[in-house]
Amino acid sequence: MHLSIQHRTRYHYSENLNYTIQQLRLPPRDGFGQHVKHWSIRANGHLHPTDDAFGNAVHTLVIDAPHTEINILASGEVETSLANSVQIETYPLIFICAIHH
């Protein structure tokens, strides 16, 4: 099955923030029954990609200018099929951590 995914997150603040840092865990992983064909994340700040200890893609979003809004758009395509599954994998829970000043 071919899945087209779009996830939008929007934060709106009543006052200006001078600095925001967030860890985003939005990309899916290749693994049991799925293959990520392509994936992108757009945000109104600087994205710094890395992998966590489990191999999950993590993006740190930093906005270091005054702002009243954060917009994040994650989108991509994933192909699913149990025929392509090699083994069952377990993944840690995904969470979003935000710090605002």
Q: Which whole number is the average pLDDT over 41-51?
A: 97
What pLDDT is recorded for position 77?
96
Q: Which whole number is the average pLDDT over 34-41?
A: 95
What pLDDT is recorded for position 92?
57
CATH code of the domain covering residue 68: 2.60.40
Q: Do 91 and 33 contact (CB within 8 A), yes or no?
A: no
Write the pLDDT tens digit of every residue in 24-33. 999 999 888 8
Q: Which whole number is the average pLDDT over 67-83?
A: 93
Nearest Cα to Cα of residue 59 among 4, 3, 9, 5: 9
CB atoms under 10 Å from CB of 86, counted, come to 8
Task: Determine the structural domain holding residue 86 and report its residue range.
Answer: 2-100
Total domains in the fold of the chain: 1
DSSP string, 40-58: EEEESSEEEEEE-TTS-EE
